[in-house]
Amino acid sequence: MGTLSIGHILVLSVIFLPILAIILHLRQPKVVLQHPDSHKVKVIPLVYSWSGSVFGPIVPLLRGDIAWFFIYLIIGGITYGLGNIVLSFFYNKKSISALIADGYIPLDDSSKQLLISKNIIVAEQE
């Protein structure tokens, strides 16, 4: 019985990473945002981008986020794709912030409270 090689680690990652990603995706809170003019609704997991961890730079490319496409591409290339796991903890928060900057607002009170608790938006003064 020898030590694990890089090949073994990569095979185990391919097997267990999607399972871990699905578990993380199902258990994390989601934020519901709506654009007031177009009434388009987006549901985004708050903490972790499982699609970013599995598919890497393809996700920001498909969403038109060129800066994060290159970030995923460079870090993923340097770390043989393992950096995607770390970047995925930041990507959804960045996506939510960008949508809010584009005019999206929380659709319900629980989404608003989640965004306030993660310091993505500030509570309104009454």
Question: Quick one: which H or E segment has residue 121?
Answer: none
Q: What is the pLDDT of residues 33-59, one digit of tens each?
A: 999 999 999 999 888 887 888 889 999
Task: Give the N- to C-terminal CA distance of the chain in Å, as an integer.
Answer: 66
Alpha carbons 91 and 75: distance in angstroms, whole number: 13
Helix axes 83-101, 66-78, angle to 10 degrees: 170
Q: What is the pLDDT of residues 52-70, one digit of tens each?
A: 888 899 999 998 899 999 9
Has this prediction a pTM greater than 0.75? no
Nearest to 50 by CA among 83, 15, 25: 25
